[in-house]
Structure 1
């Protein structure tokens, strides 16, 4: 990582997350006028930029691939907490919230972030190089988790509708958590070298040669500020969601578009961090972030929802519809063809972005 622990920007990156958190506390649960919404949006953008900075500081301290896990897991844990809170308080109208959020996260990470990073890296250096073994393992895990949790409920017969029965939901939760834990162990211990960045020249980067790692104290400070910034991002995104809902309704778009907009805001720190890594010829780091985020979103959300279902009332819809399953299948087919060679041209990045554009368009015009 190239995070500069003595950067002159350190001051604002420390102040903005705190201000964003104060704005979150002051506006939580209130109906906001348009001017306040605009101010919250400014703090939201500042918290996103600060989160990226602090994530890079922490990642530079712990090294890859541990660094990629920091931002992905932190964002996902807070996102899961938000989903569960909304489902508990929202009643029947939020029955498909978990499904819509997880599916949006998979499409954003596996097509939007991944495609943008491949395109950015390949345009700068003609070809984007990455480790096909590590990336392939990550993609296979995401595909398995998504199929078990989002596709099978549409076809099971123990319960009517696109829902799991209680034993099926428990199995999906245990399988999701187990697969995610196994992948993290492989990524960080057993086969750590499969997930290290590879430069265009074929050199494996196990450490940053041009900058000394930050001190433990600096890294811990950045970790704390990272969590504050992420909480502010998710919370302020929720605060502006009523305005987004009103705008979506005024435009005549389906209500599912609201969830996509919120998911885009929540995943913005990971997007910026991944693109910045790609521009520094660290494509593997970008892919670790993208696929790790998709994996964490499923592997942590489904177990959390399974536990929360004890208190939830009403149906829990997890199964995808036909259009969503086609897009999910296309995503994994294209992903396999992208990953196998271990290198990508701008074409592969463009193909993933085209699938992502189709997802957005069909969400607006189903």
Structure 2
């Protein structure tokens, strides 16, 4: 990108600048109000525009800072705001709020580890038949995801200190600290100590080049996109909160399980990462796609559980984290299939299809348990 005045002024005329700003303005105008059908439709359009703008600005930042920092920026930004959304839903959700954190975090786990991974592998292998990635980095990320999921979503279903699938206060504090420490350790390994494990590779195992012949954006353009990325993500989560009452009402009217609300919200919030991962896969940079998928899952659990544990100090009501038998089976199957996908360091259309079938099973069984 050129640093000429014409190029510097161009962002002010781009839709990726105005879409998140308009979405935030709509968010401010509609916040705290009961929205009629047409207003919900407008909010939905703003949500879609913000998602597409977030993907654009995340790619600008990623082009400047390189991998794996670019994937980390989007994953952390989305997750931090996702945590805020979960806390808001729990604060105003009444009796149904006790399972919001569990349902949303597990939905994020299944969306990232099966939906995003499966779609990325499918897109890449349709073009190249076989796609390659770094098994060391992806395997370490998968081990971190699996440990976090088991420690925070599986163990509460088996502990005996509290009746029901809940942690005691001390157990919740331990899980929160352990999750935060494990997340910090993963970030240190990914970005400093073993950064090369998370870089895209060629078919002979050598590090791939930048993959984009365009010059990197200037520092000014990068900071501009970073600011708009934050604005776009705020608009995504805020507008998702605005449409959530309509979602809850529709779920209740249709007689669907309450967990569907968490699934739908997680799908909306993770749209930016999904689109970014698919675009990377189309360029045969599946390692970037896996960084986004597993990094998002790690951030979703490693940051959400400590935040919810802290929020539970002033939030009333129980905090149910333990999964039921059906979801425990899906989690175990996902962990096993993911290990078989990641260990060889290469994948075909079959692996992508298997992950997508697992994701489809999760979505279907969420609506029809």
Normalising to structure 2: TM-score of the pair?
Answer: 0.95
Q: Is the Cα contact below 8 Å between 1:115 and 1:348 reproduced in 2?
A: yes
Give the superposition deviation at 1:90. Answer: 2.7
Q: Is the Cα contact below 8 Å between 2:60 and 2:222 reproduced in 1?
A: yes
Q: Residues of 1 paired with 2:208 and 2:157: CA distance? A: 43
Task: Please give the secondary structure, in 1, of the residue aligned with 2:14.
Answer: helix
Is 1:31 equivalent to 2:53 in the alignment? no
**How is 1:127-138 mapped onto 2 (pairs within 5 angstroms)?**
127-138=130-141
Q: Is the Cα contact below 8 Å between 1:174 and 1:303 reproduced in 2?
A: yes
Q: Residues of 2 paired with 1:17 and 1:161: CA distance? A: 42
Q: What whole-Å deviation, never above 9, does each CA across 1:14-68 have from its counterpart, x for those lacking one? A: 0110000001111111111111111111111110000000000001110000000
Is 1:315 equivalent to 2:318 in the alignment? yes
Q: Pick closer, same or farther for the CA change 1:209–1:356 going to 2, 3 Å.
A: closer
Match of 2:219 in 1: 216
1:328 corresponds to which of 326, 331, 344 = 331
**Relative to structure 2, which stretch is displaced further, 196-205 or 17-26?**
196-205
2:351 corresponds to which of 343, 348, 357 = 348
Give the superposition deviation at 1:212. Answer: 1.1
1:263 corresponds to which of 238, 263, 266 = 266
Q: Residues of 1 paired with 2:212 and 2:85: CA distance? A: 39
Give the superposition deviation at 1:259. Answer: 1.4
Task: Please give the secondary structure, in 1, of the residue aligned with 2:273.
Answer: helix
Is 1:73 equivalent to 2:80 in the alignment? no
Q: Is the Cα contact below 8 Å between 1:130 and 1:343 reproduced in 2?
A: yes
The number of aligned residues is 363
**How is 1:131-170 mapped onto 2 (pairs within 5 angstroms)?**
131-170=134-173
Give the superposition deviation at 1:10. Answer: 6.4
**How is 1:1-366 mapped onto 2 (pairs within 5 angstroms)?**
11-200=14-203, 202-205=205-208, 207-208=210-211, 210-366=213-369
Give the superposition deviation at 1:223. Answer: 0.4
Task: Please give the secondary structure, in 2, of the residue aligned with 1:159.
Answer: coil
Instruction: Give the ranges of 4+ consecutive aligned residues of structure 1 lying more than 6 Å apart after TM superposition.
Output: 4-10
Q: Residues of 1 paired with 2:78 and 2:238: CA distance? A: 12
Q: Pick closer, same or farther for the CA change 1:179–1:218 going to 2, 3 Å.
A: same
Q: Is the Cα contact below 8 Å between 2:11 and 2:17 reproduced in 1?
A: no
Q: Is the Cα contact below 8 Å between 1:199 and 1:281 reproduced in 2?
A: no
Give the superposition deviation at 1:8. Answer: 8.0
Give the superposition deviation at 1:205. Answer: 2.5
Give the superposition deviation at 1:201. Answer: 5.6
Q: Residues of 1 paired with 2:11 and 2:314: CA distance? A: 48
Q: Residues of 2 paired with 1:37 and 1:294: CA distance? A: 29
Q: Is the Cα contact below 8 Å between 1:5 and 1:57 reproduced in 2?
A: no
Normalising to structure 1: TM-score of the pair?
Answer: 0.96
Q: Is the Cα contact below 8 Å between 1:117 and 1:278 reproduced in 2?
A: yes
Q: Is the Cα contact below 8 Å between 1:5 and 1:214 reproduced in 2?
A: no
Q: Residues of 1 paired with 2:312 and 2:251: CA distance? A: 29
Unaligned runs of 5+ in 2: 1-6
Give the superposition deviation at 1:197. Answer: 0.9
Q: What whole-Å deviation, never above 9, does each CA across 1:99-142 have from its counterpart, x for those lacking one? A: 00100000000000000000110111111110000000000000
Task: Please give the secondary structure, in 1, of the residue aligned with 2:319.
Answer: coil
Q: Is the Cα contact below 8 Å between 1:91 and 1:313 reproduced in 2?
A: no
Task: Please give the secondary structure, in 1, of the residue aligned with 2:163.
Answer: coil
